[in-house]
């Protein structure tokens, strides 16, 4: 995670103080708390990781923000939208690791839907993923297994999508 990715979890940009970041964290924590939001456990993982990263880098935030206005968006809301779609697709298993969502299970029948919501296929890991828009892969990056990624970024655990129940009209 970099500073811009962490700020995008909260939808923040511009000159920021520690107070601004704490206020954004409190707002996100209330919005995504598991008692208020059924997807809260997964979303809070990303919110807590972003907050911890920003607080550890508080002195660098204003000097390292992107000047590209297209790089600023509210990733927390994007992530919530994707998770809402995923929970409605039967047979999927999803997991939030850092600020990425990894999707496995019976994905073949949902391939088009996954593409529509912006997910990409990771052939080496044989899983779909959703990540922040501004995240760019680096050519010289070491290849990590999904277990190594879990170890580095932590996880709230895998969740099985409930899927939508079909209700039959009975006369």
In a domain, 83, yes or no: no
In a domain, 24, yes or no: yes
In a domain, 168, yes or no: no
Residues 6 or more apart whose Cβ sits within 8 Å of residue 132: 5, 8, 75, 78, 99, 100
| 120: phi then psi, degrees, rounded to nearest 5 | -125, 155
Instruction: Give the model confidence (pLDDT) of 14-70 as tens digits.
Output: 888 899 999 999 999 998 888 888 777 778 888 888 899 898 888 887 666 545 555
Considering the domain architecture, whether residues 147 and 97 belong to the same structural domain is answered as yes
In a domain, 49, yes or no: yes
In a domain, 110, yes or no: yes
In a domain, 85, yes or no: no
Q: Are 99 and 82 in contact (CB under 8 A)?
A: no
Task: Report the SS3 class of residue 26.
Answer: helix
Q: Does the structure show a pLDDT above 50 at 139? A: no
Instruction: Give the model confidence (pLDDT) of 62-111 as tens digits.
Output: 666 545 555 555 677 788 889 889 988 999 999 888 778 999 999 999 99
β-pair partners for 80: none
Rounded to whole angstroms, how far apart are CA atoms 40 and 61? 26
Considering the domain architecture, whether residues 11 and 54 belong to the same structural domain is answered as yes
Considering the domain architecture, whether residues 105 and 39 belong to the same structural domain is answered as no
Considering the domain architecture, whether residues 18 and 56 belong to the same structural domain is answered as yes
Considering the domain architecture, whether residues 14 and 53 belong to the same structural domain is answered as yes
What's the CATH code of the domain at 21? 1.10.287
Considering the domain architecture, whether residues 10 and 33 belong to the same structural domain is answered as yes
Q: Which range of residues forms the domain containing residue 21?
A: 3-77
In a domain, 167, yes or no: no
State the pLDDT confidence band at 171, using cuts at 50, 70 and 90. Answer: very low
Question: In the prediction, which pLDDT does 128 show?
Answer: 95
Question: In the prediction, which pLDDT does 166 show?
Answer: 39
Q: Does the structure show a pLDDT above 50 at 158? A: yes
Burial 2-40, CB ≥16 within 10 A → b, else e? ebbbbbbbbbbeeebeeeebeebbeebbebbeeeebebb
Considering the domain architecture, whether residues 107 and 53 belong to the same structural domain is answered as no
Domain count, the chain: 2
Considering the domain architecture, whether residues 14 and 73 belong to the same structural domain is answered as yes
């Amino acid at each position: 995670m970099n500073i811009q990715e962490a700020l995008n979890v909260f939808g923040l940009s511009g000159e920021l103080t520690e107070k601004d970041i704490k206020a954004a964290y409190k707002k996100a924590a209330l919005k995504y708390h598991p008692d208020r939001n059924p997807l809260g456990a997964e979303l809070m993982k990303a919110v807590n990781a972003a907050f911890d990263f920003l607080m550890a880098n508080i002195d660098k935030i204003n000097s390292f923000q992107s000047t590209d206005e297209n790089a600023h968006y509210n990733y927390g809301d994007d992530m919530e939208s994707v998770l809402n779609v995923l929970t409605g697709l039967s047979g999927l298993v999803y997991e939030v690791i850092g600020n990425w969502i990894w999707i496995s299970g019976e994905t073949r029948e949902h391939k088009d839907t996954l593409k529509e919501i912006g997910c990409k296929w990771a052939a080496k890991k044989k899983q779909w993923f959703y990540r922040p828009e501004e995240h760019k892969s680096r050519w010289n990056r070491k290849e990590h297994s999904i277990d190594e990624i879990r170890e580095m970024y932590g996880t709230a655990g895998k969740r099985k999508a409930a899927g939508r129940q079909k209700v039959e009209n009975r006369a």
